[in-house]
């Protein structure tokens, strides 16, 4: 497989230094991509870069994932409007271990293959570097004029905020440049990959290598992923979509991909899956025949959920989706863990009821009219129950005065009431 061609048809090439393709055709190349370790999980904003590394390794080259332990302590001004919080070493080490575990689902770190992936942390080579050494070794090679001309610097100096740029952030491009130099000298790394907002930092590294030891290195960036409507990719009302199930449940993760627009699904299935070109073209053609079936979204959600989580998590997410939108059974409902149950019914009207009253046994009609306003009146509820239009925990309510007890509670604290086909109510026993 040809790496650049693979990225090109997937829409993952933004800018590339001349000579990059020739280098990749000539030899097994080592490339690195920097990952910011400010959290102990990656989020889907990282995924495009991670997929670049994955394709790179599948094309026979050697990927280095660089966790920016040192640079993470400073913060990159590119595309940011303010400085970020600085982390301590213990937090960085913890974050690094968690990130490596996640990357292990995309990259081969374990085999004996000559192109097995490696994780490196720039804190390891920066921590004992004194300021004077840095000024002599790195600072003297790059002029302030060169650094000032970078778009990321200009934007901050002339941007709307105009609150300037601290010296710490200004030196960021030199630190990142030194990473490239260090990896070039110690691991023969000749290529840096990154998002298009990193171009200025990457070219500073290439220039530093040229001026320090005359070496020639290359760069390739991917476009920053956006939504077709211009909105920010990977953000929802509740924040980032994380790869760690502690922060974003597999169900919510699956739903995110399932709900992307048709235009986005056509782009994302190329970027965020490893499906071959022919298969993606066939899926796209099938989708265009019947867009309402959402063939692309379903396949995209399946591929990414299995890759990040597991087949079992994907199947559970599909089953959970069926509870709200399909004809799922009470068994499927009972299998949900509490987090997924709450994710599925987020936004559904909720009522708190006294657990003691349910434990003592209470008639459904009293519970659903007096204790929780699911029905406006007892008469309305009676009519609906007689017509078969009321369900409790996905089972038809047999009688409007059926007695409800603790045995009916899901997870010992929830009751799911359905009025008609689409109206759900969640009762929480406290």
In the residue annotation, 402 being an active-site residue is answered as: no
Q: Given 14, 38, 366, 383, which residue is catalytic?
A: 38
Query: Which of 93, 100, 235, 294 is the catalytic position?
Result: 235
* Catalytic residue list contains 232: yes
Catalytic residue among 20, 30, 176, 273: 176
**Could you tell me which residues come within 8 angstroms of residue 405 by beta carbon, excluding any fewer than 6 positions away?**
358, 359, 361
List the catalytic residue out of 76, 179, 197, 264: 197
Is residue 140 among the annotated active site residues?
no
Is 287 part of the annotated catalytic residue set? no
298 noted as active-site residue: no
d(CA 416, CA 409): 9
DSSP for 125-146, written as a single string: HHTT--HHHHHHHTGGGS-HHH
Contact 367, 391 (CB under 8 A): no
Catalytic residue among 20, 30, 40, 46: 46
Among candidate residues 101, 210, 211, 232, the one labeled active-site is: 232
Catalytic annotation on 46?
yes
Given the residues 154, 236, 356, 405, select the one marked as catalytic. Answer: 236
Task: Clarify whether 80 is annotated catalytic.
Answer: yes
The helix or strand, by DSSP H or E, that contains position 419, with its residue range, turns out to be strand 414-419
Catalytic residue among 14, 58, 84, 93: 84
Tokens at 282, concatenated: 């066939």
Rounded CA separation 227/130 (Å) = 43
Q: Which two tokens stand for residue 147?
A: 């650094």
Active-site residue (options: 14, 36, 58, 80): 80
Helices 277-289 and 262-271 cross at an angle (nearest 10°) of 170
Catalytic residue among 14, 43, 187, 383: 43
Helix (H, G, I), strand (E, B) or coil at 298: helix
As a whole number of Å, the end-to-end CA separation of the chain is 59
Catalytic residues: 38, 43, 46, 80, 84, 176, 197, 232, 235-236
């Amino acid at each position: 497989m040809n790496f650049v061609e693979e990225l090109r048809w997937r829409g993952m090439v933004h800018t590339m230094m001349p000579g990059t393709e020739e280098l990749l055709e000539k030899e097994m190349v080592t490339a690195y991509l920097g990952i910011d370790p400010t959290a102990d999980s990656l989020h889907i904003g990282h995924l495009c870069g991670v997929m670049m590394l994955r394709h790179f390794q599948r094309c026979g080259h050697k990927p280095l994932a660089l966790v920016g332990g040192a640079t993470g302590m400073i913060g990159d001004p590119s595309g940011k409007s303010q400085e970020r919080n600085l982390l301590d070493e213990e937090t960085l080490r913890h974050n690094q271990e968690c990130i490596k575990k996640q990357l292990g689902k995309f990259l081969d770190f374990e085999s004996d293959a000559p192109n097995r992936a490696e994780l490196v942390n720039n804190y390891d080579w920066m921590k004992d570097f004194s300021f004077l050494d840095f000024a002599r070794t790195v600072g003297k090679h790059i002029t302030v004029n060169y650094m000032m001309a970078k778009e990321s610097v200009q934007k901050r100096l002339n941007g709307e905020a105009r609150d300037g740029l601290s010296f710490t952030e200004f030196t960021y491009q030199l630190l990142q440049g030194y990473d490239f130099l260090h990896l070039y000298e110690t691991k023969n790394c000749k290529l840096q990959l990154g998002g298009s907002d990193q171009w200025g930092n990457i070219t500073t590294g290439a220039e530093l290598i040229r001026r320090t030891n005359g070496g020639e290195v290359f760069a390739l960036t991917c476009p920053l992923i956006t939504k077709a409507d211009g909105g920010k990719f990977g953000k929802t009302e509740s924040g980032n979509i994380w790869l760690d199930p502690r922060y974003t449940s597999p169900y919510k993760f699956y739903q995110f991909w399932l709900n992307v627009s048709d235009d986005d699904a056509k782009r994302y299935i190329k970027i965020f899956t490893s499906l071959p070109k022919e298969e993606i073209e066939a899926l796209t053609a099938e989708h265009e025949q019947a867009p309402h079936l959402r063939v692309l979204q379903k396949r995209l959600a399946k591929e990414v959920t299995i890759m990040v989580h597991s087949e079992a998590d994907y199947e559970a997410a599909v089953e959970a989706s069926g509870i709200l939108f399909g004809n799922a059974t009470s068994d499927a409902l009972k299998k949900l863990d509490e987090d997924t149950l709450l994710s599925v019914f987020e936004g559904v009207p909720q009522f708190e009821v006294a657990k003691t009253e349910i434990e003592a046994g209470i008639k459904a009609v009293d519970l659903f009219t007096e204790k929780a306003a699911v029905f406006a009146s007892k008469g309305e509820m009676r009519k609906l129950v007689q017509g078969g239009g009321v369900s409790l925990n996905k089972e038809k309510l047999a009688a409007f005065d059926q007695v409800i007890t603790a045995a009916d509670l899901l997870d010992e604290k929830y009751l799911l009431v359905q009025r008609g086909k689409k109206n759900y109510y969640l009762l929480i026993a406290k």
